[in-house]
């Protein structure tokens, strides 16, 4: 495992003609390294998401965190954790088609990067990024996908969800849910698991009973240090088997 990382900002051209900035964090040492797409929460590619990308870089991955709000927000947008209404217009503006185009652009950047092994790319996402990770598993040939409390995967009053894409998943999916989450409920967890099971997909479904929504983020009031450590350990093992093997 590398002990440090180096980072940069890159600009990706999207198939719809737009451009998207992304934060890239690289391991020390010569590649090729496995790749990791890191998908943001509703609060942008902020210090927490950049720190997650850096953390994966220290594990030996070329990590890229695309700014999914690029169509409605200025480059570098960061929302406040105490101002969810302030980010909702950006969240509501996201479309499945647009997110898929963004995901394909990030995946394509990793594929072309000289220091990244194009055959060993994975993804991880948090909250709305958890939904992006599910979509990335369907839209690109990733080797593994990890979704933390992914809202909008299961159908809800807010939208139809993504379960119709379950048959398209390419890779094993590791999902984390908070048992105290009042936004993503047990029936949503079950609906996702049932759809994956019906499609014959390999998955791991983890509910941490005393964790709330956002438990992995140490900048949020809902941060749960023990749950985050347990989830990180499982992520490392899951990726070791699916990507690094």
Q: How confident is the model over 167-217, as pLDDT tens digits?
A: 999 999 999 999 999 999 999 999 999 999 999 999 999 999 999 999 999
What is the C-alpha to C-alpha distance for residues 138 and 107, in angstroms, rounded to an integer? Answer: 12
User: What is the CB-side half-sphere exposure of residue 199 using CA atoms within 13 A?
Assistant: 21
Please state the pTM of the whole predicted model. 0.97
How much of the chain, in percent, has pLDDT values that exceed 70?
Answer: 98
Q: SS3 of 181, please?
A: coil
Instruction: Report the CATH number at residue 153.
Output: 3.40.50.1820
- Contact yes or no for 91/72 (Cβ under 8 A): no
- Adjacent-strand bridge partners of 41: 44
Total domains, the chain: 1
Strands of 5-13's sheet in order across? 5-13, 19-27, 62-66, 33-39, 116-126, 144-148, 173-178, 203-208
* Domain interval for residue 186: 5-244
- Contact yes or no for 35/205 (Cβ under 8 A): no
């Amino acid at each position: 495992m590398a002990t440090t990382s180096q980072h940069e900002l890159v600009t990706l051209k999207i198939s719809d003609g737009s451009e998207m900035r992304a934060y890239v964090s690289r391991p020390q040492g010569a590649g090729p390294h496995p790749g990791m797409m890191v998908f943001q929460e509703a609060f942008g590619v902020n210090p927490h998401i950049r720190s997650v990308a850096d953390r994966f870089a220290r594990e030996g991955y070329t990590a890229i965190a695309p700014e999914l709000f690029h169509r409605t927000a200025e480059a570098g947008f960061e929302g406040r954790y105490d101002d969810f209404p302030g980010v909702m217009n950006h969240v509501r503006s996201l479309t499945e088609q647009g997110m898929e185009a963004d995901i394909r652009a990030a995946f394509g950047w990793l594929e072309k990067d000289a220091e990244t092994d194009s055959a060993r790319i994975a993804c991880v996402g948090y909250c709305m990024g958890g939904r992006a990770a599910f979509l990335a598993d369907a839209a690109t040939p990733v080797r593994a996908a990890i979704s933390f409390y992914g809202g909008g995967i299961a159908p809800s009053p807010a939208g139809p969800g993504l379960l119709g894409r379950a048959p398209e998943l390419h890779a094993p999916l590791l999902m984390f849910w908070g048992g105290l989450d009042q936004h993503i409920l047990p029936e949503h967890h079950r609906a996702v698991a049932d759809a994956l099971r019906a499609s014959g997909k390999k998955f791991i479904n983890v509910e941490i009973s005393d964790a709330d929504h956002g438990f992995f983020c140490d900048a949020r009031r809902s941060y749960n240090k023990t749950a985050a450590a347990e989830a990180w350990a499982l992520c490392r093992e899951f990726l070791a088997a699916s990507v690094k093997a």
